[in-house]
Structure 1
Amino acid sequence: MGTDLVLSDFEPTVRFKDTLAVSPDGRFFAYVDDALGQFNLAVRPMSGGGPRYLTSYSGSTARAVSWHPDGRSLLHIADTGGNEAYQLYLVDVETGVRTALTDAPGSAFHPAIGDPFSPDGKLLAYAGNDRNPADQDVLVRDLVSGEVRRVFDRGGRVYAGHWSPDGTRLTVTEWRGATTDRVVHVVHVDDGRIERLTPEDTAATFQIGPWLPGGDGVLVLTDLGRDLAGLAVLDVATRELTWIDQPVWDVEEVALSRDGSTLAWLVNVDGASQLKVRDLATGRDRPVPALPPGHAAQLRLTADGRRVVVRMSTPTVPWNVLSVDLDSGEQAWLTDARPAVDASVFVEPVLVRYPARDGTTVPAYLYRPPSPGDEVPVVVAIHGGPPTQERPTYSNDGLFQYLASRGVAVLAPNIRGSSGYGLAYQRAVHRDWGGIDLSDLDDAARYLKDQPWVGRLGLLGRSYGGFAVLSCVSRLPEHDWAAAVAWCAPSNLVTFTRSQPPTWRTQVAIMVGDPDTDTEFLTGRSPFTHADRIRAPLFLIQGANDPRVPRPESDQIVARLRGRGIGVRYDIYPDEGHVFGRSENQHRAHADAAEFLLKHLKKC
């Protein structure tokens, strides 16, 4: 089955970045794709038609797009060569003329989480670490005079949130300690006063959403008093929390129409996205059609609240932009990224749950090809993060579907540390990298070996997933892994934690460990320490400019293995960082990884 197919047959015609903006008049949407060979900013009409590109980057990556309230310009950020030193730019929608708003190559800037522009369009809110590399402040720029004020500079890692309807206040989210402890403040922009809205004595996640139309409350996604995130209103005067939705799954995104009429939110139901909509005039939920069974993100509403726009992917449909008409219920794909291969070759993943040794059941998506009486090799694919989640999407740009077409199954587990299954499940891996997570992967291998149809086992992972791959081959060699691919993988937790960007170090110390006080523990959990036990064929992929997992993480374990005379393939991409931007590089890395796995798993 599928032996004449190659990976490029499965790759989508374009890839999309995780950003989306709808014009104030609802006639256009802006996004970022790599049709030009690198990620660039494009605009399309909602009514249909092709893209018009407003940037032409070849060495930079555009991200985080927002529309100015007057509809005439777009804000975005871009870095160079994957270095993540993001700078802010305004682009004229008609002429494509770009204006740099920041110019500090050693610093990184991030636009506000909500609409970064004040309602009157005169002010721009963003965060940056230009004052001190270890501190991320909130800044407000006057777009007329160019004056920049630092409105929140208490240290730590903070982000601008949402402007109040009258433009006098700005919410700010402060990441304190672990990523699951976030505090909400309100800054009075005129006089600089700062008020804390969330409780002083309770650690909880507060993901801030828009203000209510009257300016008396802020929408938040929070797990306060819960193990899962619900949707609530936080009263800015009384600090009281009023729940809107408390499902048995996480609420993960919320949007409010500019006219204040319509509220929409997404619920993560076992990895699949469920859309909910409420008419704020009546207080009643509106009937909405079910989304395609997959993952929706970047939830947006048109200004009049009549249409929802999201990025959407399913296991057989690559990421595209989807529109939902809330009056008619009609759904329409606004973009058409697709693979060349006929969809008849695709397999639908099955959500399985395998037992862990402590009684927990671990969810995983299994992509199993038809196997009439034959043993099937299986790749255990481990997601990054760790607080992310394997979901029913066209994963890894079709790589899973390609492997299945070549007779190789993929098991993509959500081991402890994954998001989507509650706070306790996610926090289980804090300061325990290579502990409970590795135990879950050990149990995944044992589960697979108990299946009569399973043959050789391989491994694939990127970032934290790459660390997990290296941990498996170095600390669980008894599973006789047939092949392993690790992409941008931490190998030494001491050097890895010491190398983190300054604004991340507090969170990394809590989530992974402190390299100064936990040296012995981190050394013991490092794949580098156990490298002498590696006997599986190994392929490492590394971006030379990666600021999150710097190149020495791969260099040192490769040197250790080659010093023992152990062959290891090592590909370095000189013009890439942690997330590859250039289309040709992404294709080459995926294709080489796939062929490496196929060669060793199928002995062909």
Structure 2
Amino acid sequence: MAEFISSKQHKPNHQLPFERFASSIRYTDFDFFKKDNDWIMYISDINGQFNLWRYNSSLTYEGQCSPYPLTNFIDHSLRHFFSSPIDNSLIFFADHQGDENFQIYKIDDIFNSWYEPITSDPTIRHEWGSECFSHDGKYITYGSNRKNPSDMLIYIRNMNREKDFCITDNEGWYIPGYWSPNNKKLNCSQLITLTDYAIWILDVENRSMEKINLEYEQKSKFIVGPWSVNQNGFYLLSDLNREFMGLAFYNIDTSKLEWILTSPYDIELIDISLDGKLLLWTENVDGYSKLYKKDMVNQEIMEITPTIKKNNKSIPLNGVIEDLKLSTNGKRIGIMMDMPTSPTNIYLIDLEKNEEDNNCTRVTTSLYGNLSDDILVKPQLIRYKSFDELEVSAFLYVPNNTNFKKINEKDKVKYGAILSIHGGPTAQERPYYDYSGLYQYLSNNGLTVIAPNFRGSTGYGKSFEKKIYHDWGGNELKDLEYAIKWLMSQDWIDPKRIGLFGASYGGFAALSCITRLPQYGFRAAVDIVGPSNLVTFVNTVPEHWKSLTNELVGDPVKEEIFLRERSPITFVDNINPLTSLLVIQGANDPRVVKSESDQIVERIREKGMDVEYMIFEDEGHGFTKYNNQIKALKKSAEFLLEKISS
């Protein structure tokens, strides 16, 4: 058991500045260059903003690379890219200061030319799908709300003629999928509701669309995947008649869905070799990713454990695989993995090596704080019962990596605690190096962090996820209350030193806690881009989101009274005088507009309560610029530490 200071309030021996934990580089997207798999490209904020980089992996050694920038944006953020299968060109999507009206750009030759825009209307949003280029490089596909802000339709652009056309002539939100091997067809998913998707096959030559009619009673999700080599169908992920996402194959000849893989966990990412002989996928097991491969010839399935060499020891990697790519030559797997003790890095797995041979090479270095392994905290997975006996899982970060079950009264230690609430809300708290090392900084400074997956979180089945639909500020708030009760039931937690942190939905939940659960006397709360008024929030989301937001949150016209009863702004008078609040907002946020933060801050200031307000004029829903990210999260970290440790 770790050694503790014998005092009422635990104080760490070494207080490292937040910058040590936040000295990191963010990586958000990567892929093998289609024409030459030795070249890898990725999106990173190495120069302070998300730009596109290339490097030759055959000329690097572990942890080091010499990246070459392909863009040099300052106020634009590069979000996603696709390389051409036939030449050195690529397509990418970028937006301006977080406005999410993504424009499309092209680089003709990544070795000899610079980018130029294909679209340039800042009022129109363009979205990417699973693939962009057709296999012959003649076409690209993307979504756009050009015709109507309420619709996201699919367009096909002929790269030779530089003209495009809309191929989905129905209203709705369509997401491009994958091209058939002969480039004549494209599959796509349509979001009808949050739980009801449709599958379409688009005929590019005839400019027509055909809906795939599957017989099922329950609404289901369908995320289309790659086509088979013989073009008789395609793979897809679905929760059809199941709690979790499984992998299936839709056979065009029989018009039937054939299950390939079913699991008691969500299958999240898939990829398949060009010859169709090797299938890859990941599964979400209690937030951690498991990677598998299947030989489609002999049907053999094998788990792949990425293993690197460190200090002459073979170390298996355990974290969240955020992206999965198989090289076109079928020899290497690329993954982006985030871990509790390391921000996202890119790793290459050599399929010709065994795990014992250290099959994995890290090709990026994301953390630069010179932090020793014994400083970084690994979360413990706990479970507690909510008010209705529903089991809720949570990640618990305890200072000094101490097993909380071994802390007893003899230690005389009392930790302050932070309840961290994830966004979404249909998302999942996972073992990330999250918020630029915020959890690590707080733990290093003697605070415990509990981060629950309350009802409505993904990863625990669709029934669990649906529990928050049309119930924001309802039973999930009770789940958060029972997380607080769990903390207070621990002898090693000081019940008078508890704070809150949340972004997006998490910001809404933090505001809900201080306004509707004031009896717990929260010392501090941080709200980053969180809604405060559900009526105005639903009225101001992007137009193509509104039907889905009405389902998830409520109808602002028909249910105004209900939404006001669930809004933090309604209960400002209840805030405990002991509570200090920090609100952080991006001025260009298209999802949670700035007025959501303005109105709650104004009301609290009218009451003479303690509130600080940070506005970032060049950001949207989150932070694309490195310096803004550090300013916001450093302020959050030091604010929580000051208020809760005092």
Q: TM-score, normalised by structure 2?
A: 0.91
Return the offset for 1:19: 4.9
- Residue number among 191, 210, 217 corresponding to 2:233 in the alignment: 217
Q: Give the equivalent residue in structure 2 for 1:582.
A: 625
Q: What are the superposed Cα offsets for residues 532-584 of structure 1, whole Å, 9 maximum, x if unpaired?
A: 11121100000000000000000001111111111210000001100211100
Q: Give the equivalent residue in structure 2 for 1:298.
A: 323
- Residue number among 169, 184, 208 corresponding to 1:193 in the alignment: 208
The answer as to 2:384 corresponding to 1:354 is yes
The answer as to 2:123 corresponding to 1:106 is yes
2:32 and 2:327 map into 1 onto residues whose CA distance is 10
CA contact (8 A) 2:291 2:303 kept: no
Q: What are the superposed Cα offsets for residues 325-379 of structure 1, whole Å, 9 maximum, x if unpaired?
A: 1221301111111131222201111000011111111010000013753100110
Return the offset for 1:289: 2.6
Aligned ranges for residues 540-551 of structure 1 at < 5 Å?
A: 540-551=583-594
Note closer, same or farther for the CA distance 1:353–1:597 as it changes in structure 2 (3 Å cut). Answer: same
Paired AA for residue 279 in structure 1: D
Q: Give the equivalent residue in structure 2 for 1:389.
A: 428
Note closer, same or farther for the CA distance 1:2–1:252 as it changes in structure 2 (3 Å cut). Answer: farther
CA contact (8 A) 2:201 2:210 kept: yes
The answer as to 2:364 corresponding to 1:325 is no
2:399 is paired with a residue whose SS is coil
CA contact (8 A) 2:503 2:528 kept: yes
The answer as to 2:485 corresponding to 1:446 is yes
Percent identical residues: 36
Q: Give the equivalent residue in structure 1 for 2:365.
A: 336
The answer as to 2:57 corresponding to 1:16 is no
1:339 and 1:524 map into 2 onto residues whose CA distance is 46
Paired AA for residue 223 in structure 1: D
CA contact (8 A) 1:261 1:305 kept: no
Q: Give the equivalent residue in structure 2 for 1:67.
A: 83
Q: Give the equivalent residue in structure 2 for 1:32.
A: 43
Note closer, same or farther for the CA distance 1:287–1:253 as it changes in structure 2 (3 Å cut). Answer: closer
2:532 and 2:30 map into 1 onto residues whose CA distance is 31
What is the aligned length?
601
Paired AA for residue 561 in structure 1: I
Q: Give the equivalent residue in structure 2 for 1:375.
A: 414
- Residue number among 629, 637, 640 corresponding to 1:594 in the alignment: 637
Q: What are the superposed Cα offsets for residues 103-143 of structure 1, whole Å, 9 maximum, x if unpaired?
A: 22101101222x21000000001000011111111000000
Q: Give the equivalent residue in structure 1 for 2:281.
A: 265
Comparing 93-102 and 310-319, the one that deviates more: 93-102
Q: Give the equivalent residue in structure 2 for 1:510.
A: 551
Return the offset for 1:503: 0.8
Q: Give the equivalent residue in structure 1 for 2:111.
A: 94
The answer as to 2:498 corresponding to 1:457 is yes
2:152 is paired with a residue whose SS is strand
- Residue number among 536, 548, 552 corresponding to 1:495 in the alignment: 536
The answer as to 2:336 corresponding to 1:311 is yes
- Residue number among 396, 402, 418 corresponding to 2:457 in the alignment: 418
CA contact (8 A) 2:425 2:506 kept: yes
2:286 and 2:485 map into 1 onto residues whose CA distance is 23
1:570 is paired with a residue whose SS is strand
Return the offset for 1:199: 2.2
2:519 is paired with a residue whose SS is helix
1:29 is paired with a residue whose SS is strand
Q: What are the superposed Cα offsets for residues 502-557 of structure 1, whole Å, 9 maximum, x if unpaired?
A: 11111101011111111110010000001111121100000000000000000001
Gaps of at least 5 residues in structure 2 are 1-11, 307-315, 403-410
2:166 and 2:34 map into 1 onto residues whose CA distance is 28
1:411 and 1:559 map into 2 onto residues whose CA distance is 30
Q: TM-score, normalised by structure 1?
A: 0.97
2:493 and 2:35 map into 1 onto residues whose CA distance is 53
CA contact (8 A) 2:511 2:532 kept: yes
Q: What are the superposed Cα offsets for residues 242-289 of structure 1, whole Å, 9 maximum, x if unpaired?
A: 111111100011111223231100000111000111122333224533
2:353 and 2:32 map into 1 onto residues whose CA distance is 22
2:75 and 2:231 map into 1 onto residues whose CA distance is 42
Q: Give the equivalent residue in structure 2 for 1:81.
A: 97
The answer as to 2:472 corresponding to 1:433 is yes
Q: Give the equivalent residue in structure 1 for 2:311.
A: none
Q: What are the superposed Cα offsets for residues 463-522 of structure 1, whole Å, 9 maximum, x if unpaired?
A: 000000000000011111110000001000000000010111111010111111111100
Q: What's the Cα RMSD here?
A: 1.4
Return the offset for 1:305: 2.0
Return the offset for 1:431: 0.5
Note closer, same or farther for the CA distance 1:335–1:411 as it changes in structure 2 (3 Å cut). Answer: same
Paired AA for residue 569 in structure 2: F
Comparing 286-295 and 533-542, the one that deviates more: 286-295
CA contact (8 A) 2:24 2:343 kept: no
1:22 and 1:284 map into 2 onto residues whose CA distance is 29
2:137 is paired with a residue whose SS is coil
CA contact (8 A) 1:288 1:326 kept: no
Paired AA for residue 5 in structure 1: L
Note closer, same or farther for the CA distance 1:342–1:547 as it changes in structure 2 (3 Å cut). Answer: same
Note closer, same or farther for the CA distance 1:416–1:565 as it changes in structure 2 (3 Å cut). Answer: same
The answer as to 2:196 corresponding to 1:162 is no
1:20 and 1:543 map into 2 onto residues whose CA distance is 30
- Residue number among 196, 202, 206 corresponding to 1:181 in the alignment: 196
1:236 and 1:529 map into 2 onto residues whose CA distance is 54
2:29 and 2:564 map into 1 onto residues whose CA distance is 35
1:553 is paired with a residue whose SS is helix
Note closer, same or farther for the CA distance 1:522–1:200 as it changes in structure 2 (3 Å cut). Answer: farther
Aligned ranges for residues 235-246 of structure 1 at < 5 Å?
A: 235-246=251-262
Paired AA for residue 411 in structure 1: I
CA contact (8 A) 1:381 1:413 kept: yes
1:413 and 1:19 map into 2 onto residues whose CA distance is 30
Note closer, same or farther for the CA distance 1:232–1:425 as it changes in structure 2 (3 Å cut). Answer: same
Q: Give the equivalent residue in structure 2 for 1:480.
A: 521
1:250 and 1:277 map into 2 onto residues whose CA distance is 16
Q: Give the equivalent residue in structure 1 for 2:73.
A: 57
1:38 and 1:96 map into 2 onto residues whose CA distance is 21
Q: Give the equivalent residue in structure 2 for 1:364.
A: 394
Paired AA for residue 326 in structure 1: L
Gaps of at least 5 residues in structure 1 are none
1:344 and 1:452 map into 2 onto residues whose CA distance is 25
